[in-house]
A and B are shown apart, each in its own frame.
Chain A
Amino acid sequence: AQKITQTQPGMFVQEKEAVTLDCTYDTSDQSYGLFWYKQPSSGEMIFLIYQGSYDEQNATEGRYSLNFQKARKSANLVISASQLGDSAMYFCAMRRTSGNTPLVFGKGTRLSVIA
């Protein structure tokens, strides 16, 4: 079975600073994908970034980067130059490659950006 653990229920960051949101995962699969989603108070889940288990380079998408450490089974999200609009819930999720498997989500981290 797959499991995602997000140990930070809530975090605060000053505007324009960088912040790291932690995510560890547990799986016996060799081939899998890791995803980060943002959920504002409106409810919609917004896809941010993806990392495949066989990707050697860390994924980046604009101000988002994923710090992938396979041996430690961690996939932390780094947001650079935080903006007030980054205040939201952030979910780490994974899904294995084989079969048509659903996303497994962590409990989420609530990020608050302070002016």
Chain B
Amino acid sequence: KAGVTQTPRYLIKTRGQQVTLSCSPISGHRSVSWYQQTPGQGLQFLFEYFSETQRNKGNFPGRFSGRQFSNSRSEMNVSTLELGDSALYLCASSLEGRGLIDTQYFGPGTRLTVL
């Protein structure tokens, strides 16, 4: 079974631009979560989608948004990019996102650099 895929793997943008990252979950997984990883803040939760609905949201400004499609693929968008948005963005999928046995499996990440 194919793992979680994320595109693109690397991205360079300039301040003020916007960016869209894509995540395809493991087949059959309906929950997709997004995390931001930076050297200073570590891994921080952005949001989670399940059945095309945002089910949980972390403490990030409104410039960060996402959506999920009917095939469970998810996109996240960052508008008006700031230098501090430079990070590794990780997507994780799980079957239903509930319960202890529902492990999250991660993709390879998208490394975003904002100049």
Residues of A within 8 A of B (CB): 31-33, 35, 37, 42-47, 50, 52-53, 91, 95, 97, 100-108
Contacts and interface: CB of A to CB of B under 8 A. Distances in A.
B99 A97 contact: yes
B64 interface: no
Interface in B1-52: 31, 33, 35, 42-43, 45, 48, 50
Interface of B: 31, 33, 35, 42-43, 45, 48, 50, 55-56, 58, 88, 90, 92, 97-101, 103-109, 111
28 contacts: A33-B101, A35-B103, A37-B106, A42-B108, A43-B90, A43-B108, A44-B108, A45-B90, A45-B106, A47-B103, A47-B104, A50-B103, A91-B43, A97-B100, A100-B55, A100-B56, A100-B97, A101-B56, A102-B35, A102-B48, A103-B33, A103-B43, A103-B92, A103-B104, A104-B45, A105-B42, A107-B42, A108-B42
Contact of B109 (A32, A43, A52, A104): A43
